[in-house]
Amino acid sequence: MSVKSSSNMLEHPIFAIAGEAADQLGIEAYVVGGYVRDQCLGRQRTKFDIDFVCVGSGIEWARRTASLISKDLSVQFFSRFGTAHFAWQGGDFEFVGARKESYQKDSRKPIVEDGSLEDDQWRRDFTINAMAICLNKERYGEFVDPFNGRQDLAQQVIRTPMDADQTFSDDPLRMLRAIRFATQLNFFIRPEVFDAIQRNIHRLEIISQERITTEVNKIIMSSKPSVGFKLLLSTGLLENFFPEMVTLCGVETREGKAHKDNFIHTLQVLDNVSQTSDDLFLRWSAILHDIAKPKTKRFDAKVGWT
């Protein structure tokens, strides 16, 4: 897989303006995360969601950037989280100060401290989401990739910057995100990451059902969702939050008559629907169309399974 160079990733005018604002404030400034990943891959989007990180106050940086664009630009400030957001010219932009985080075992809420860019990259979920591009004038366009995320993009692998067990224990939703990215990008989950998912399944208990559903819906809306569901099954995650679907697995034979594997059949229907429709609810209907069969099936000696 070819990976795009950073020289032409900063075409939107927001980058030069944000860089100028950062220079005025005397702070290090970067664009990070999914935008950098998708630009490296050449993935085109009609709307940009861009994350900006600075070594300093993200709120002050957003305020200064917005003032350079227009005094009438509406900016949302979230002082509690140290973040700010505004939309402009087809993009949604979030600004935050670099930070490092630590977690308690029974909570998803991190203890947050100010940090360096490397601290911020270290805490991110996967190496492919931990790449950054500098926006300061003297280093404009410089690619910062301490965990070889670009190489992982080229090799099409999902890997974590820090120890995978720590990554998933800190934020268990990242286990679902690993599967979602593997599904969306057709990437391979590294064995040590796969094993860590299996060891940390119990940590999902601290994640709300709403957040789990959001990630599952993103898997469902991928071009071939069966890939994600097979990974959810093989890791054991599916049994944790959707055991009814797991009961579809397997074939029972009686008197030489067998029924089809309803899990495989369901995934075939889901993929077929996904080729023709982007309707989330229609895709869910494909998933649920046989969900009651394990509890309602019966055997008739004359006709077999019904």
The tens-digit pLDDT sequence of the chain (306 residues) is 544 456 578 989 999 999 999 999 999 999 999 999 999 998 877 678 999 999 999 999 999 999 999 989 999 999 888 999 999 998 999 999 998 766 666 656 666 667 899 989 998 999 999 999 999 999 999 999 999 999 999 999 999 999 999 999 989 999 999 999 999 999 999 999 999 999 999 999 999 999 999 999 999 999 999 999 999 999 999 999 999 999 998 756 555 555 578 899 999 999 999 999 999 999 999 999 999 887 776 666 666 556
- Distance, in Å, from the CA atom of 51 to the CA atom of 148, rounded to the nearest integer, reads 20
Sign of the torsion angle spanned by Cα atoms 32, 37, 38, 40:
positive
Q: What local confidence, expressed as pLDDT, does residue 105 receive?
A: 64
Q: What local confidence, expressed as pLDDT, does residue 81 receive?
A: 85
Q: What local confidence, expressed as pLDDT, does residue 110 receive?
A: 61
Alpha carbons within 13 A on the beta-carbon side of 193: 22
Structural domain spans, the chain? 1-155, 243-305
Instruction: Write the burial class of residue 59 (CB in 10 Å: 0-12 exposed, 13-18 middle, 19+ buried).
Output: buried
Q: In one letter, which amino acid is 168?
A: F
Straight-line distance from the first to the last Cα atom of the chain, in angstroms, rounded to the nearest whole number:
47
pLDDT in tens, 94-106: 999 998 766 666 6
Q: What local confidence, expressed as pLDDT, does residue 2 receive?
A: 45
Architecture of the domain defined by 1-155: 2-Layer Sandwich (3.30)
